[in-house]
Chains A and B, each alone.
Chain A
Amino acid sequence: MRIKTISRSVDEFTRERSQDLQRVFHNFDPSLRPMEKAVEYQRALTAAKLEKIFARPFVGAMDGHRDGISCMAKNPNYLKGIFSASMDGDIRLWDIATRRTVCQFPGHRGAVRGLTVSTDGNVLVSCGTDCNVRLWSVPRPSLEDSDLSSEKSIEPSAVYTCKNALLAVDHQFEGDLFATAGAQLDIWNHNRSQPVQSFTSGSHSVISVRFNPGEPDILATSSGDNHISIYDIRMSSAARKILMRTKTNSIAWNPMEPMNFTAANEDGNCYSFDGRKNEEAKCVHKDHVSAVMDIDFSPTGREFVTGSYDRSVRIFPYNGGHSREIYHTKRMQRVFCVKYSSDATYVISGSDDTNLRLWKAKASEQLGVILPREQKKHEYNEAVKNRYKHLPEIKRIVRHRHLPKPIYKAKAESRAMNDAKRRKDERRKAHSAPGTVVTESHRTRRIIKEVE
């Protein structure tokens, strides 16, 4: 009789440690595994379900303010620090890890409307309705400070006064200029009490300003007369002006694509523009049912987060028409400001209920140290889910979200209205001479014109 045995060399198959994995060999011949597609589909389904099970986005709330949060600023140089200001003039620096106030910056009389930090993280600039611009030196984070629970208060290093109330402020990336928005757009230097440059346009006030992180000399503003303007601070006038049907509350530049920016509009949509072609939006991001109050891009440039007056926070892909995620809690009121953390892992929202809330950017992401095998598994699950995302069952599971009742109802209503309008348009088109009725695309509908 002949006995066949598998012979393997000891060297190759001996584990160095008992925890090491046994070596396994596979025959990758596809004929041996005929059901691979079915298997992967099932895995995708499981992954989608698991994602739903593990979706726990809310990390924690930071409370301490005595009035609604009006604005926030993240420290570009320090991941754990975030500044927030409230309508009663209170400014606080928070430690995200412990979710406690590190120190306070008292001084403003009246609502603080704008906060920003210089790129090196040393200077905090705040402005408000009391016509003051205040510069503060940010305390250096140290281990002892975080241990102590005492809240220090800091005096401003400079106070500059203007004629009008200020509504927004933003700092240049890697420079010492910052811009304030009020009745006019002013460009300031840290060391000068008067603006180094100012731009006026029309009789309406400027309500938001944002510097381009890629191109430090370019900034975008939105004003009360429904204009969005792009300025080059080396020039004396605006470069481009877009006139829209509704007001733009906030603007965010894509940090990875310096020509693109997204505007958070009063009509509940966000509009992504290419800075070179403004006659139509590149993408319209719809989902909010009320005005979008603030917007911030992820540092990866692939996503952005929006806070809305409808009491929800949403995360959109930079090129997708609908949101990937919606965050809401029972107690969260109107969201006035949102920020994406500098490592693109967290989202922070500040709302009318005087709280800052910390969310995970990916609801089901596993935090903490992940072993390589775990990581691989997560990646595989993600890849499989992504591959079969178009199939109905997986699509349904992945897209499903519980919505608060008001949002759900408002959505249904707006859908009904839009449908009716669309139907009417279709009929009108059908019953009129061809070419006389032109349906305008969503991307141009809300834009009146680009001002020459």
Chain B
Amino acid sequence: MGGLKRKSSSSAKTLAKSKKKKGPHLPNSILKVIANQKRPLNSDEEDDDVIGSDDEHGGDLYEYEEGVPEEESRKNNRYDRHDNYDYELPEDFEDENVESEDDDDGGNTDNDEAEGDDDDDDRHTRMLQSLTGMPSAAFEGESKSKPVLFTEAYPEGEFNPTRDVLEGKNVLTEEDFLAPLEGTPGYQKTSKQIARMRKDTKHVVHAPLPKPQRERLERKAVIGLVDEEFSKWVHLVKKNREAPTVYFNQDVDLGYSTVGAIASEFQPRTEFEKKMASVLNDSEVSEAHRDDGARLLELNEVSMEDHIKDRNHIAKMRSLLFRHELKSKRIKKIKSKTYHRLKNKDLKNSSLGALMDPEMAKEEAMRQEAKRVEERMTLKHKNTGKWAKRMLSRGLNVKYDGTKAAIAEQLQMNANLSRKMNSMRDGSSSDESDDEEELNDGSDEDTPSRLIAKAKEKTLKALEDDEVPNAGLMSLPFMARAMKKKNEEANEEAKRALEEYEEWENSGGENSKKTVNVSGRRVFGATAKVEAPKESRKDSDNFYDDSDGDNDMPGIEDNNIEPVRDNASPARNTITDTEKFDDDVAGNPASKTTFDVAMFASGSWKKMTGSKNTESKKASKKTHAPIPQAQDKKGSRDEESEDSESEAEEMVDGILTSASKETFEVPSQAELINRAFAGDDVLDEFEKDKEEVLNQEVPKPEKPVLVPGWGNWTDIQRKRGISKQMVQKHEAEKKEWEQGLKTRKDARLKHVIISEKVDKKAEKLHTTTLPFPYTSKEVFEHSMRMPIGPEFNPSTIVGELNRPEVVKKTGVIIKPVKFEEVNPNDEVDDEHPRNHQKQKPKKKTSRRQGKVKSK
């Protein structure tokens, strides 16, 4: 191939011409080879064209040949593209071109023809010049462009460029234009200028880019700007999106919102309002207000007297208040309950003034008197009422405590009213009352002897007074007889009483002697009883029957006697106890030790004996001096008991030691375990449990049975037995059951129960999958953990917890977001709030930003 190239290059241009002429006659194979060599330089599409037509091949070959030396190739190129323009100037080349391209005929005639052509052109231009009157130069181009060489199948143009153009080389340059001018007068200058221009790249105006490319670049620039515009919103948008609540129009004023605003619109209507308004809106006052306020003092002048009066009044009130406070404090300090009770009662019954005011007291007394009179007249409270009678007749007062208490209360009231009557009487009192008073007085301090004496006196008097009235009703014979009888009985009684008094006087002397010995110490609750006091009790009982209500007596008598036995009594108690016990034990001496052992085994005896011993020892110490005998006795008993105790212990020890000595052997671990869990069979239990669970979760189908009355009425039915259907059904159920058992997760795990029970009610409280925004189960569950209701949270948080995502006001236009610079420092501070004071204003600002959108 290289050889061929060389050959062609070395050959003269005439040769080439001839070749070109012969182009169409060249064998196709050679043409192909040549084309192949060219192919890598060209695009595939063009190759196809090349192969397609022979004429083009000729052209290709021609171009190829000429491309070898650089200068030549350039010239050729020029020739190729621009046809005759350049080649008309140098004569040598002109002919060749015309020859080769245009005419397929012989090359010799070309020159002449060209000349002839030239002549023709000249003539034509001249003609045109003459016709139009324009300079010949105007028509030159037209005429010269005429003889165009077409080396391609199609004319060159936008859609069919030559290969060189596509390759990007062999493009026309300035030098090509300048070369023919070399030597002409302006050449130097222009070449210099061109060189300068070439160096100067600043002022070069490039050709505009194709439209789509240009638009793409433009768009890129715009995109950058728009993106920048959008990006500045990111902070604000992010803040809004992350906020738990977005507020809109919170600062919009919807009319009157405050009381002050409403009040400012107030107009006085009624007379009073007008008066008030006139005072309030008095020009003088308002002016004074508007000034420094000094004139207000003048307007508000008060006389000296008034001021003093006021002051005194206030002082007085204050001191009164102070005293009252002090008094109430003092009273409050009193702790006595009775005092307070009485005080309260007083307050309730009669006001404080009633006690102070005599008239009020009198009135009060009158009222009380009236009450008393009424009570005497009606005996209202002495079970005479309808209700009380009924209750008593039916015996309900016994049955019910409440009724009983009510009746008792009534009686008490009656008693109170009647007793008061006595006390309220005037100074002239009867003998009886005197006596009573004396008796009452004496009862506190008098000795019984004196009482007895008095009683004696009275009875004697009664005996003396046995006089029968002579006139009236009593003088009638039957009445007299009855009276006499009564008197006799009374007399007899009186005599008996006298005798008794005398007896009592004798014995009373002895008692009085004893009372003298009474020591100061009193002991209550002593359990020991002596015979002597019992006797006295008997006596005193009789005595009490006659005279009511001296409860001191028995107490005194008890006291009299007790101290005598006081010291000995505790010891005695214990002694008796121990004696008893010992006696029991001693009663069966043979069983004594066994008994002890048994007690020991139960674990309670040791303690008991121990405590007993110590107690008795203490007792013995105490009673050492007064009762030596008892101590001796006790001591011996103690020794005995101690002995027995020690014996018992030994015995127990003996048994234990002997047993362990005989059978001690180290048992194996398994044996120990076996022994430890001897009672419970775990495996069995587990199996039972599992069976139970299985039965519950996969219930075993019931066997079909003949239910009496259902399908077995006749003999035939009975003979047939259970119907086939039922049996089949049972079989199917059984199969299902077995299948169910097999498919269980724990079917093959012997020691495991895996419950497959599904709680249908709980199922609705679970989701089948994790809901979208959550990433883990824990977070999802956590989101529902704390309640948000008002019952479970204080009212201060409830609002926060329940706040919706968007808070807006209905009927207020929400404006679109407005840009506001977000301070990046703000966020940092929000993340680490140091103190509350700092945080508060920040919150405000963030809120405002939230609202800002709406402005």
Residues of A within 8 A of B (CB): 26, 28, 30, 33, 36-37, 39-41, 43, 76-77, 79, 173, 213-215, 218, 230, 232, 235-241, 255-259, 275-276, 299-302, 342-345, 367, 376, 379-380, 382-384, 387-388, 390-393, 451-452
Contact = CB atoms under 8 A, between A and B. Distances in A.
Closest 8 CB pairs of A and B: A299-B814, A213-B816, A255-B816, A259-B230, A36-B787, A390-B771, A383-B802, A342-B813
A235 B810 contact: no
A232 B803 CA distance: 39
B819 interface: yes
Contacts of A33: 791-792
A275 to B, nearest CB: 5
A257 B237 contact: yes
24 contacts: A28-B794, A37-B785, A41-B765, A214-B819, A218-B226, A232-B225, A236-B218, A238-B222, A255-B817, A256-B240, A257-B233, A257-B241, A258-B230, A258-B237, A259-B233, A300-B814, A343-B810, A344-B808, A345-B811, A384-B788, A387-B783, A388-B784, A391-B764, A452-B220
Contacts of B248: 299-300, 344
Given A40-B787, A239-B219, A240-B219, 12 more contacts: A33-B791, A235-B221, A238-B222, A258-B230, A301-B240, A343-B808, A344-B808, A376-B798, A382-B802, A383-B802, A391-B766, A452-B220
Contacts of A36: 787, 789, 791-792
A275 B813 CA distance: 26
A221 B702 CA distance: 76
Given A213-B816, A214-B817, A240 B226 contact: yes
Contacts of A37: 784-785, 787
Interface string B194-225: 00000000000000000000011011111101
Q: Which of A43, A79, A276, A451 has the most CB of B within 10 A?
A: A276
A346 to B, nearest CB: 9
B729 interface: no
B791 A26 contact: yes
A382 B789 contact: no
B768 interface: yes
A452 B234 CA distance: 24
A421 to B, nearest CB: 23
Given A36-B787, A343-B808, A392-B767, A240 B229 contact: no
Contacts of B237: 256-259
Contacts of A236: 218
Contacts of A238: 219, 222
Given A383-B804, A392-B764, A230 B788 contact: no
A318 to B, nearest CB: 10
Contacts of A215: 229-230
Contacts of A239: 219, 222-223, 225-226
B809 interface: yes
Interface string B778-805: 0010011101111111100011011111
Interface of B: 215-216, 218-223, 225-227, 229-231, 233-234, 237, 240-241, 246, 248, 764-768, 771, 780, 783-785, 787-794, 798-799, 801-806, 808-819, 853-854
Contacts, number: 166
A342 B812 CA distance: 8
Contacts of B785: 37
A275 B804 contact: no
Contact of B789 (A237, A299, A384): A384
Nearest to B773: A390
B788 to A, nearest CB: 6
A345 B784 contact: no
A404 B798 CA distance: 41
A379 B816 contact: no
Nearest to A75: B813
A390 B781 CA distance: 11
A276 B784 contact: no
Contacts of B804: 379, 382-383
Contacts of B798: 376, 380
Contacts of B780: 390
B802 A257 contact: no
A288 B219 CA distance: 34
Contacts of B234: 259
B222 A173 contact: no
B231 A393 contact: no
A390 to B, nearest CB: 4
Contact of A218 (B229, B790, B808, B814): B229
Nearest to B234: A259
Nearest to B819: A214
A214 B813 CA distance: 16
B239 to A, nearest CB: 11
Contacts of A259: 230-231, 233-234, 237
Contacts of B768: 392
Nearest to B792: A36
A383 B814 contact: no
A299 to B, nearest CB: 4
Nearest to A29: B792
B813 A77 contact: yes
A379 B803 contact: yes
B784 A387 contact: yes
A79 B810 CA distance: 11
Contacts of B225: 232, 235, 239
A79 B254 CA distance: 15
Nearest to B811: A343
Given A256-B237, A300-B246, A343 B813 contact: yes
A235 B788 contact: no
B330 to A, nearest CB: 25
Contacts of A218: 226, 229
Contact of A43 (B784, B789, B799): B789
B813 A387 contact: no
Given A237-B222, A257-B817, A383 B801 contact: yes
B226 A275 contact: yes
Nearest to A395: B767
A387 B808 contact: no
A370 to B, nearest CB: 9
A239 B792 CA distance: 55
A208 B223 CA distance: 21
A213 B233 CA distance: 13
Q: Which of B801, B814, B815 has the most CB of A within 10 A?
A: B814
Contact of B806 (A276, A302, A342): A302
A31 to B, nearest CB: 12
Contact of B817 (A28, A39, A258, A383): A258
A39 to B, nearest CB: 7
Contacts of A258: 230, 233, 237, 817
Contacts of B802: 376, 379-380, 382-383
A173 B816 contact: yes
Contacts of B216: 452
Q: Which of A232, A256, A343, A380 has the most CB of B within 10 A?
A: A256
A363 to B, nearest CB: 15
Q: Which of A173, A342, A343, A367 has the most CB of B within 10 A?
A: A343
B788 A28 contact: no
A240 B787 CA distance: 49
Contacts of B794: 26, 28
Contacts of A388: 784
A315 to B, nearest CB: 14
A26 B801 CA distance: 18
A300 B789 CA distance: 27
Nearest to A43: B789
B219 A276 contact: no
Nearest to B240: A256
Contacts of B788: 40, 380, 383-384, 387
A239 B812 CA distance: 35
B226 A256 contact: no
A384 B792 CA distance: 13
Q: Which of A238, A383, A390 has the most CB of B within 10 A?
A: A390
Contacts of B817: 213-214, 255-258, 301
